[in-house]
A and B are shown apart, each in its own frame.
Chain A
């Protein structure tokens, strides 16, 4: 699984992988990212991940030309993905996830079946984007894929757990949003006063653990520290 390099401007380019994002693509992407950060560290402004691309901002145009000329000599072996799994408590109920009942109906299943499907899975964190601390997670069961709302909600609470298209995610801050809301976590995905401001790292996995409404209320007052196993 070897990427191609595409130069966009003299100081911006990206490695691009063919195919749908999965663990193998991510393992290759993380290996290339590590190699570039080690081999070209003095020449980089920034490296940024997406699902199928790794963008590189260079300090100077000749550094980009250098990587392009040396591309064929690099063959980093795929990186072993971390075994860490973060437990994310979620209160799935119509009060905290206002689209839960509609979504279950739409997919012809009971609310409990939906919760079971969503929380039995582990999801792979590929990268952060959209909002500060928003995790792009892969692995939503196909039975739960749901097109985004035609008209986005004007206000989605921080901590809302949602489904949009083939993805699931947590809104780290209150914002407008077009995903279907199924629950809420008391964890804070993003804290700007800490560096790093997030707890998970690309390649980690996330598992949602159902909690009841009382537990949510208690934890919202005093947000728990995220746990990994």
Chain B
């Protein structure tokens, strides 16, 4: 039996959750994919810590977070840019650092980006349900972490390897407002003017945004029929009868009846995960398969 340590949440805003790569293959039971909204940052954290790529990390989407560790480990941060402090001392943009028993990590405002990822060596050890530790309502015991929640992890006193000490923590990759898309299966139902508007105009992210999806402010009026319920995936853009555009994200239901007009490339879903309500985005058709290969 491995020894278990605990990280205790001292303070958190709403929406903090444990996430890994998600529950691939469980959609056949109606179970959403879940997993980190920004997979690029999840992978980076686990790479730095030399973890399994599916190791569970914390996804933090509100400022004002702090955590106390009961035993030594290494932690890594990625995603949104923030001011992190360890026992009160600024951790200047370090991406990986050792912590000791009793150490307290504090996260301030998210200066740039919307989601911060915090990993520990070997990952957080919350229960695995249907192949994943990703939080999801009614599936895992908790939907979100709150003050005094505890997270088990395996203590580890190995110091971080030197070549990783200067690993760059950059938010440049999500600067772009352009999201790369493919036409969705129901795109052909749109008329010429609707297609032009969808692909040429800017859209604003509304504050109706969570892990299930983000609604866009500008409507796309339409008279498309409701369709038979068919599969939907994170990254699909649905057009509701009321003209609302809804970008589905990791916790989206697995099937839906609204026309599926666009599908975001995976990298663009990660960019979108770092956007905030009020930010503008544009949809741009992805390069065709032929030119890509």
For A216, list chain B residues within 8 Å (CB): none
Partner of A48 from the list B129, B182, B254 (CB cut-off 8 Å) is B254
For B254, list chain A residues within 8 Å (CB): 48, 128-130
Partner of B293 from the list A61, A134, A174 (CB cut-off 8 Å) is A61
7 nearest CB pairs, A to B: A50-B230, A129-B255, A128-B30, A51-B228, A55-B231, A48-B231, A53-B230
Interface 9-residue window, one of B7-15, B20-28, B99-107, B162-170: B20-28
For B158, list chain A residues within 8 Å (CB): none
Number of A-B contacts (CB under 8 A): 103
B199 within 8 A of A: no
B202 within 8 A of A: no
Binding site for A on B (CB under 8 A): 24-25, 27-32, 129-130, 137-139, 182-185, 228-231, 233, 253-256, 263, 265, 286, 289, 292-293
For B256, list chain A residues within 8 Å (CB): 129
Partner of B231 from the list A21, A49, A133 (CB cut-off 8 Å) is A49
Residue among B31, B229, B263 with the highest chain A CB neighbour number at 10 A: B229
Q: Are A51 and B229 in contact (CB under 8 A)?
A: yes
Interface 9-residue window, one of A10-18, A82-90, A96-104, A105-113: A10-18
Q: Are A132 and B139 in contact (CB under 8 A)?
A: yes
Given contacts A48-B27, A132-B138, A197-B29, are A9 and B286 in contact (CB under 8 A)? Answer: yes
Closest chain B residue, CB of each to CB of A65:
B289
Residue among A6, A51, A52 with the highest chain B CB neighbour number at 10 A: A51
Some 9 contacts from A to B, beta carbons below 8 A apart, are A7-B289, A14-B185, A14-B231, A47-B28, A48-B27, A51-B229, A55-B231, A129-B256, A131-B30
User: What separation, in Å, do the CA atoms of A130 and B30 have in the docked complex?
Assistant: 6
Q: Are A12 and B233 in contact (CB under 8 A)?
A: yes
A window 47-99: CB within 8 A of B: 47-55, 57, 61
For B253, list chain A residues within 8 Å (CB): 129-131
Q: Are B138 and A173 in contact (CB under 8 A)?
A: yes
A38 within 8 A of B: no
User: Knowing that A14-B230, A130-B255, A198-B30 are A-B contacts, what are 7 other residue pairs whose CB atoms are under 8 Å apart, sorted by A's residue number?
Assistant: A16-B185, A46-B25, A52-B228, A127-B255, A130-B253, A192-B139, A196-B29
For B228, list chain A residues within 8 Å (CB): 20-21, 50-52
Q: Are B185 and A53 in contact (CB under 8 A)?
A: yes
Given contacts A50-B229, A52-B228, are A9 and B29 in contact (CB under 8 A)? Answer: no
User: What separation, in Å, do the CA atoms of A133 and B68 have in the docked complex?
Assistant: 37
A120 within 8 A of B: no
Binding site for B on A (CB under 8 A): 6-10, 12, 14, 16, 20-21, 45-55, 57, 61, 127-134, 136, 172-174, 190, 192-193, 195-198
Minimum CB–CB distance for B120 against chain A, Å: 25
User: What separation, in Å, do the CA atoms of A193 and B130 have in the docked complex?
Assistant: 8
Q: Are B130 and A195 in contact (CB under 8 A)?
A: yes
Minimum CB–CB distance for B171 against chain A, Å: 26
For A51, list chain B residues within 8 Å (CB): 228-230
For B292, list chain A residues within 8 Å (CB): 10
Closest chain B residue, CB of each to CB of A53:
B230
For A46, list chain B residues within 8 Å (CB): 24-25, 27
Q: Are B229 and A132 in contact (CB under 8 A)?
A: no
Residue among B28, B31, B130, B231 with the highest chain A CB neighbour number at 10 A: B231
Partner of B28 from the list A10, A21, A49, A136 (CB cut-off 8 Å) is A49
Minimum CB–CB distance for A8 against chain B, Å: 5
Q: Are B28 and A48 in contact (CB under 8 A)?
A: yes
Closest chain A residue, CB of each to CB of B140:
A192
